[in-house]
Every structure is written in structure tokens, then in C-alpha cells.
Amino acid sequence: MSNNTQSTSQRKSYRFAIRSSIYITFLLFLILLLVTFIDGVQLPAPILLGIIISVFILCFVIIQYRVQRFIYRRIKKIYEDVSLLESSNFSDREIATDMRTLKEQVERFARNKKIEIETLQIRENYRKEFLGNISHELKTPLFTVQGYIDTLIDGAHKDKVIRKKYLERAQKGVERLTYIVRDMDMITRLEVGDMSLDKEHIDVINLVKQVFDQFEMKASKKNISLVFDMKYDQPIMVHADQERILQVISNLIMNSIKYGKQNGTTEVAVEDLINNKIILRVTDNGEGIKPEYVPRLFERFFRVDRTGSRKEGGSGLGLAIVKHIVEAHGERIYVDSELGIGSEFSFTLEKVPFKMEEGELEEG
């Protein structure tokens, strides 16, 4: 029965019932003819016609009704099984015999499920990878700390000089653990989309100066100079989240020192880009980055030098955080680097219109 109805393509199909009714009526007609022939009883033509028409209509109604009920029930079951729709949604719909609609809906359902499954798989891989990275990142400093503490307990604490040295190293390891965890916490919050920006009018020149001060010691260890490309007498006001942008600048400058060479220079430039944008560039003449690594720099946990133990290396999250913050502002980040020559990281910010800036200053 259902096979026949599959060929139907109208919304509500009567073809099956009509055809079946014709067959039955025709059969009945033949039988009547035969009876007439054998018995010689001649039925009057109008009665014969009446019988034939009534039989046809009766057959049609019964078959149509049965077919609809039969298919309706099965489709309802399918719908319920695949939870395509709330079954109440279509209790009185003509869908009962419409195979095309059902086919379309089931196909759409399957497509959506496929996409859903793929998304889940991607997320699952992402989760696994993230967990793998986390444990990998935490292992190194944790083992370092454990190593020094074990050695101290095993007797090294008796030597005053060694004791101090080992404690300091252990402390460094703990410090490293702390900022890896802090970065991870931040990236998790950023990736969950839990970043409410607190935009205000801020002076980027001042922010850069703060970061210069913060890293002065670190830079002087490698004799790296932290400079502006020119003298900035006036504040440059932008519309951004102060704390986050401070983080961006600080991550970029920290990298420029970390991957900068001895006696090198980190230079910051703030330029007008288009009428309502400025671009802030952090340029170093450090080790630079191989072209093939450049597209991957902003990935979580990506580091060119994976061994990382020689360097005080970070978590590999710094640039991922930078990218998140910049993009949350609706801005863009660029990188330009040449191996052995140096790197330039730059990002855009929204400039505060001159008029508003004035107004603000007056208010303040």
C-alpha cells in the first residue's frame, strides 16, 4: 500500500485511491456482465450505472480513508521517533499522504543532525586538544618545582648557597605555573565569549608608557631599549577598554623583549590609519619568525620553540589573548616578520573624534 503512495507527489494524493477504486469497479462491472451473461438477467442500464458509480465512490472513500490513516500513523511514528516536530504540531495536517514533504523534512532533519554531529566532533577534538595542551604546559614547571624540592629535602638544604639557589628556581617554577593558570583562565573566559568590554576614552600613549615602565627591568637585562618612534607630546585618545588594551600592549612588548636579541630595540609607533582609526605598531629587531609559522602565531599554545625550557617562555597563550581582545573591540591585528631581522605586531583602535576629546577634557 505504502509503496504505491510513494509515487505521489501532490500535497494530498488521491491517485492511489482513484486507481484502486477504478480497478475494483471495473472488476465488479465484469462480474455483473458475467452474471448477466450466464443468468440472462438483464439489469436496467440506470441501475447498473448507479451501482457502478456508488461502488466507485464507496471504494474511493474507504481506500482514501484507510490509506490516510495507515500512512498518517506511520508518519506520525516516524516524526515522533526522529522528534522532527512536536507530534501535536501536525495532528490535523494534510501531511498524512504527502510523501514529498516528509522526504524533504527527513532529509533536512538528517542534514541538520549531520551538521550538529560534526560540530560536536570538532568541539570534542578541541576539548581534547585543549586538555592535552594544558597538562603538557603544566607538567614542565611542575616537575621543575618538584625536582628542586625533592633535592632540597634529600639533603641539599644543608648547603646555604644551594638552598637559596634551588628555592629561587622552585619559586620561578611556581611563578610560571601561576601565570600559565592565569592566562588559561583568561583565555577560557574570552573563548566562552564572556568578555564585557568597559570602553572609555583612554590615552594610548600613556598606556604604552606604563608598559615601558613595567618592563624596564626585564628589558635592561638584555639591554633592550624600549622607545617611541618619535616624541608624542599630545595624548592620543581612543575608545577602548583600558585594562584589556593594557594587556594587549603588555603582551606584545613582553614578546618583543623575550624574542628580542641582546642590545636590541623595541619601538612603538602610533599612527593615523583612516579618519577614525589609529594603528599601534610594536616593532623589534629580534629573532623574527619563519614565514610558515606566521599564520599559526595566534593559535592557543602555539610556540615556535616548543622545548621552551631554555627560555623563560610563556604559556603560548599571549598572542591568542591579544587576538581575542583586539577582535572583541571589532579591530584587527597584523603581523609582519622576517627571520633574523625582526617582527612587527600592529593593531587598530578606534580614535575618539577630536570634538569629543575636547569636550571630555573640558569636563575633566
Report if residue 285 touches ligand ADP, rule: CB under 6 A: no
Contact 175, 313 (CB under 8 A): no
Q: Choose the contact partner of 284 out of Mg ion, ligand ADP, none; CB within 5 to 8 A by kind.
A: ligand ADP
Task: Give the span between the Cα atoms of 7 and 144, in whole angstroms.
Answer: 73
Q: 317-336: which residues touch Mg ion (CB under 5 A)?
A: 318
Residues 6+ apart with CB under 8 A from 151: 166
Please pick, from the candidates 20, 25, 64, 255, the single residue that binds ligand ADP as defined by CB under 6 A. Answer: 255
Report if residue 255 touches Mg ion, rule: CB under 5 A: yes
Binding mask 301-340 for ligand ADP (x = CB under 6 A): -xxxx-------xxxxxxxx--------------------
Using the Cα atoms of residue 193, residue 195, residue 196 and residue 202 in order, give the sign of their dihedral: negative
- Residue 359 sits at φ, ψ, to 5 deg, of -55, -45
Task: Give the span between the Cα atoms of 340 and 285, in whole angstroms.
Answer: 8
Please pick, from the candidates 137, 287, 331, 357, the single residue that binds ligand ADP as defined by CB under 6 A. Answer: 287
Question: At its nearest, how many Å lie between Mg ion and the CB of residue 273?
Answer: 25
Question: At its nearest, how many Å lie between Mg ion and the CB of residue 304?
Answer: 11
Question: At its nearest, how many Å lie between ligand ADP and the CB of residue 203?
Answer: 24
Task: Give the span between the Cα atoms of 72 and 80, in whole angstroms.
Answer: 12
By beta carbon distance, the residue nearest Mg ion is 318
- Residue 201 sits at φ, ψ, to 5 deg, of -90, 115
Report if residue 134 touches ligand ADP, rule: CB under 6 A: no
Strand boundaries in 105-229, DSSP class E: 199-203, 225-228
Looking at the Cβ atoms of 76 and 281, the one nearer to ligand ADP is 281
Stretch that binds Mg ion, among 80-88, 115-123, 173-181, 251-259 (CB under 5 A): 251-259
> In terms of Cα–Cα distance, which of 267, 220, 271, 248 is closest to 319?
248
* Interface positions with ligand ADP (CB under 6 A): 251, 255-256, 258-259, 284, 286-289, 297, 302-305, 313-320, 343
